[in-house]
Chains A and B, each alone.
Chain A
Amino acid sequence: MSALVYVRDQLGNGCVPRFDRARRRADPRSLWYRRNEQVDAAVEAALRCTEAGLPVTVVAIGPERVDWLLKHYLAAGATAAVRVWSPDLDHVELDDSLAASLMEGVIEQLRPDWIWLGDDDHGAVAVHLAELTGRVLAISVVDVTGRGHELELDRRLDRMTERVRLTAPGIIAVKRGAALRYPSHRDRLAARQQAVTVLDAGAALDGIVHGRHPTVTAITPPKPPTTRRRELSGADDRVAELILGGTGGGHSQVVEDTVPNMARLAVATILDRVNSTTPTNPTTGDSP
Chain B
Amino acid sequence: MNAGDGRIRVLIETAGGAITPLSASLLHLAADLAESRDLAVHAVMYQALSHPHDLAAAAGRYGASVVAVPETEMDAIDLTAALVSDRDQDPGLLLTSATAVGREVAARVGARLDLPVLHAATAVEWRDGRLVVSCPALDGKASARTVIDAAPTLGAVVTVAEGAFSGVEIDGRPPARIEPLHRAETDAPWCPRPHVTGRALTPVDELGLDEVDVVVAGGMGLGGPEGFSLLRELAELLGGRVGASRMVTDRGWISTDALVGQTGATVAPSLYLACGISGAPQHVIGMRDSATVIAINTDAHAAIGQVADVLFVADARKLVPAMIELIERDRSNLAGTQA
Contact = CB atoms under 8 A, between A and B. Distances in A.
Interface of A: 10-11, 13-17, 19, 26, 31, 96-97, 100, 121-124, 127-128, 130-132, 134-140, 152-153, 155-167, 170, 176, 212-229, 242, 246-249, 251-256, 259-260, 262-267, 269-271, 273-274, 276-283, 285-288
Do most interface residues of chain A lie in helix, strand or loop, or is the interface mixed?
Answer: mixed
Contacts of A156: 100, 202, 211
Contact of A220 (B98, B106, B145, B149): B145
A253 B309 contact: yes
Contact of B310 (A121, A255, A280): A255
B292 A279 contact: no
Given A97-B111, A127-B111, A288 B284 contact: no
12 contacts: A217-B147, A225-B306, A228-B307, A228-B308, A247-B292, A247-B309, A259-B319, A263-B319, A263-B325, A266-B294, A267-B326, A283-B201
Contact of A222 (B140, B146, B202): B140
Given A160-B201, A214-B148, A263-B326, A222 B116 contact: no
A17 B142 contact: yes
What size tier do the contact residues of chain B reach? 35 or more
A209 B268 CA distance: 37
A136 B192 contact: yes
Contacts of B204: 288
Task: With a 10 A CB-CB cut-off, give which of A132, A214, A215 has the most chain B CB atoms.
Answer: A214
A23 to B, nearest CB: 13
B247 interface: no
Contact of B146 (A122, A217, A221): A217
B198 A221 contact: no
B101 A270 contact: no
Contacts of A283: 199, 201
A266 B142 contact: no
B149 A214 contact: yes
B136 interface: yes
A120 B31 CA distance: 29
Interface stretch (B1-9, B15-23, B62-70, B223-231): B15-23
